[in-house]
Amino acid sequence: MESHLGRYEIHEELGRGEMGVVYKAYDPLIDRFVAIKTIDLQKLGEKEKDEYKARFYQEAKAAGRLNHPNIITIYDLGRKGDIAYIAMELMEGPELQDIVAENQPLSIGEKLDVAFQVAEGLAYAHEHGVVHRDIKPSNIMVLRGLHVKIADFGIARMESSLWRTQVDKIIGSPLYMSPEQIQSHPIDPRSDIFSFGIVLYQMLTGKLPFSGDNVNSVWYQIINEEPQKPSSLNPEIPDMLDQIVAKCLAKKPEDRYTNANELAGDLHSCRSILSHANTNTDHRNRYFESAGATNTRKITRVQLIWIIVLTALLSIGIYALIDQLFIDKFQE
């Protein structure tokens, strides 16, 4: 393990993937911990390294300009030998992938809260000319209070550029690719919307909309087949949410949401409708509980006996008082 990358002191390894390693590191200049993502350039020739380096800086700078509460902030980038690296905000919390895998008991409303934040982050990035290209649960962090942060903006495109130079192979997560990614067609923000639709489907149902024994089988389904409605797997899902997922997963980009702002708007509307319905249900429940409490206020046998006894004693006392007054009056 590296001890330093630039000014950053490496403390521990956080994760490892095909493209490189993610470290927890300390920045002594700012006195804070950061996450460092590395990309290995070893297999490239010198000319290819120079070309990639230019592309790397271009993409990292574009991603670094993104300043949004639902996007992990990029602080710095650099290179040490054949290792290119990006320093970014360190997040303490699980990935959405972990929450889905562990089948965490999130309500439909909470899942919509998460989805809305992802859509908001995507909308902001797209408006600034940055397409993620690798939206998947492991690139979505869920922090305390269900606050969402999208990771790795711009990095998927950098990695794709690197590996296409080598072997001309498609880079991305096969289970979450859009049809145009699989077919090597031009990519725009609507590709992210398709990948988001797969993530949303998985969040709602616990299953992927497209699955198979191998990558080719999954890709065939993504390009040619329509998935089951989410509500057929989870009856709690309203029809409006079925429609949102279907629009995200349209095969042709022109049939999807035009942009992530429209998607966020529909998710917000769906969440509001659900919240209103739940509020009405809560009011009804409270009403029924109150009515039930009123109807069960019955006098018990013990209470009745005490009432009779107290009434009798009170009557005897009043009778004795009247009788005494009558005697006193007669003696006068």
User: What stretch of H or E contains 77?
Assistant: strand 74-80
pTM equals: 0.75
Give the contacts of 87 (CB within 8 A, at least 6 positions apart): 6, 8, 25, 27, 34, 35, 36, 74, 75, 76, 77, 78
Task: Identify whether 255 is a catalytic site residue.
Answer: no
Residue 244: name the closest of 230, 224, 226 by CA.
Answer: 230
**Phi, psi at residue 264, to the nearest 5°?**
-60, -40
CA distance linking residue 263 with residue 292, whole number of Å: 43
pLDDT at residue 269, rounded to an integer: 94
Burial call 166-181: b when 16+ CB within 10 Å, e when fewer: eeeeebbbebbbbbbb
Q: What is the dotted CATH code of the domain comprising 4-278?
A: 1.10.510.10
User: What stretch of H or E contains 89?
Assistant: strand 83-89
Q: Measured at the alpha carbon of residue 159, what is the angle toward residues 153 and 162, in degrees to the nearest 5?
A: 150
Domain map (residue ranges) of the chain: 4-278, 298-332
pLDDT at residue 165, rounded to an integer: 38
Q: Residue 131 in 3-state DSSP?
A: coil
Burial call 2-24: b when 16+ CB within 10 Å, e when fewer: beebeebbbeeeeeeeebbbbbb
CA distance linking residue 175 with residue 111, whole number of Å: 20
Cα dihedral sign, 213-218-224-225: positive
CA distance linking residue 89 with residue 116, whole number of Å: 21
Token pair for 117? 């934040």
Q: Given 27, 76, 134, 192, which residue is catalytic?
A: 134
Residue 141: name the closest of 201, 73, 39, 76 by CA.
Answer: 73
Mean pLDDT for each 10-residue chunk of the chain (332 residues)? 88 81 93 90 71 70 86 89 87 84 78 96 93 91 92 62 41 84 93 97 94 92 96 93 98 97 96 76 34 39 57 63 53 52
pLDDT at residue 171, rounded to an integer: 47
CA distance linking residue 37 with residue 13, whole number of Å: 10
Q: Are strands 147-150 and 4-5 parallel, antiparallel or unpaired?
A: unpaired
For 140-217, strand residue ranges (E) read: 140-143, 147-150
Q: Are strands 21-27 and 74-80 parallel, antiparallel or unpaired?
A: unpaired
Say if residue 161 is exposed, middle or buried (CB neighbours under 10 Å; 0-12, 13-18, 19+). Answer: middle
